Every structure is written in C-alpha cells, then in structure tokens.
Amino acid sequence: MALHIHEAWILLLVIPALVTPAAINHEDYPADEGDQTSSNDNLIFDDYRGKGCVDDSGFVYKLGERFFPGHSNCPCVCTEDGPVCDQPECPKIHPKCTKVEHNGCCPECKEVKNFCEYHGKNYKILEEFKPSPCEWCRCEPSNEVHCVVADCAVPECVNPVYEPEQCCPVCKNGPNCFAGTTIIPAGIEVKVDDCNICHCHNGDWWKPAQCSKRECQGKQAL
C-alpha cells in the first residue's frame, strides 16, 4: 500500500512539467477591452508635432509641403512650428453684392443686384427715367443712377409760369418788363399814365422799363 501512494505522488509532480507554454492557445484568452483600446488609441492619435501638418480632413503633409488646411483657407506651408499661411490683400466686396462665396483664399462676389434704387423706386439696368421734369436719369450697370439736370435759360418776362410736366418756365404772354408796378409788353411804347410813356430794354427784360415824361393831358385840360 505504501508503494502505491509513493507512485501517485510522483505522477502529480510530473504532469505540470509536461504542460509547456506553447501548448496554451492564446485565442482562448482574449485581451481585455482596455488593452485593445489603448493599442488602437496609439495608432489614431499619433503626434505629428515637428514632423508634419494635418489639414481639416486629417491628411498629413510633410515639412516644407504646400497645402490648404481647409476649403476656405489660404495656402500654407508646413513648418516645424506648424502651418505658415499666406495673408494676401483681398479685393473689396461690392457693397451691393447679394451672394458671396468663400471657396478660396479670398471671398468672391457671385451676384450683384441687377437693379438701381433711386428715391425709393427700383429701375432695371440701362433703364432711363425722369424723376422730375428737369431731370433725366439712367440706371448704370454698376447699379448706380446717373442724372443730368436741365439748364433753363433766363425767361424773357417778369411773370413766367410753370406748366405741368415742363421743366423750364414759359412766358405765356410773351416778353415784358416792369414799369413801376405795371407789367408792360416789350417791343412797343406804352403810356402808363397821363405823363409817362415807357418801353422795355432791348434784351434785358428783367430791368425796369425806360420811361420818358410827356406833356400831361391833365395840364392841357386846364
């Protein structure tokens, strides 16, 4: 009986030695999720400082390589200190621009108003209009309104009138001038009272009439 017990003890000592590390299948013992995550993180979040530059989409550029960080950015050069980008002087956007695109380094106007605004009204490009009887205007392609104001001649009378839809005043009764407070027609001598006969200056209708005294009818009657 003692012999059998001794042999069993020897077998218990030998069996663990027969099991080698190669015999263990690692697939039966998957790594912990924490270990897998840490290994994947090392692949995704590489540090490119001093080695390259990364654009908005995650693409890596080498040192000295020229690239665009994003669709609306200016071109940059990758340096050890990071991207060094151009800063050009962009043209000014038209104040009447209604559509601006930012697909390049500088913003670009794609649409400008196709009408002019003048005194609260809209006019088409190249449209001509008269905001008043003395103004002639046109809507220019630049969306600006250019106007010409009529230059009226000096009327040949002292009582001109303005007719509807007419720019310049007209002398409805022809040329005339003042003889005192009386308006007399030009071109003829007019007896304004019993002693004075007057006539208008030739061409100078705004000047007072020239008058000369004649023998008064009142005195003749006496």
The answer to whether 195 and 216 have CB atoms below 8 angstroms apart is yes
* Count of domains forming the chain: 3
pLDDT above 70 (res 133): yes
Residues 128 and 95 in one domain: no
Q: Which domain holds residue 162?
A: 156-214
Residues 81 and 129 in one domain: no
Residue 85 covered by a domain? yes
Residues 144 and 189 in one domain: no
Predicted pLDDT at 6: 47
Residue 23 covered by a domain? no
pLDDT above 50 (res 110): yes
Residue 27 covered by a domain? no
CA distance 96 to 54: 38
Sheet of strand 82-85, all strands in order from the earlier edge strand to the far edge: 66-67, 76-79, 82-85
Please report, for the domain that includes residue 130, its CATH number: 2.10.70
- Cα angle 162, 168, 172 (rounded to 5 degrees) comes to 50
What lies within 8 Å, CB to CB, of 123 at 6+ separation is 115, 116, 117, 129, 139, 145
Residue 167 covered by a domain? yes
Distances (CA, A) of 86 to 45, 89, 107: 28, 10, 14
Residue 35 covered by a domain? no
Residues 95 and 61 in one domain: yes
CA distance 183 to 200: 10
Residues 137 and 187 in one domain: no
Residue 192 covered by a domain? yes
In this structure, the strands spanning 182-185 and 121-124 are unpaired
Residues 141 and 164 in one domain: no
- pLDDT tens-digit series, residues 179-217: 988 899 988 888 888 888 998 887 677 788 888 887 776
Residue 122 covered by a domain? yes
Three-state DSSP class for residue 147: strand
> Hey, what are 119's tokens?
């005194």
Q: What is the mean pLDDT of residues 135-139?
A: 94
| Residue located via tokens 């009657």 | 221
Residues 194 and 161 in one domain: yes
- pLDDT tens-digit series, residues 141-192: 888 899 999 888 888 899 999 888 889 999 988 899 999 888 999 888 888 8
Percent of the chain with pLDDT over 90: 18
- In the listed set 67, 99, 131, which residue is the last one of a domain according to the structure? 99
Residue 30 covered by a domain? no
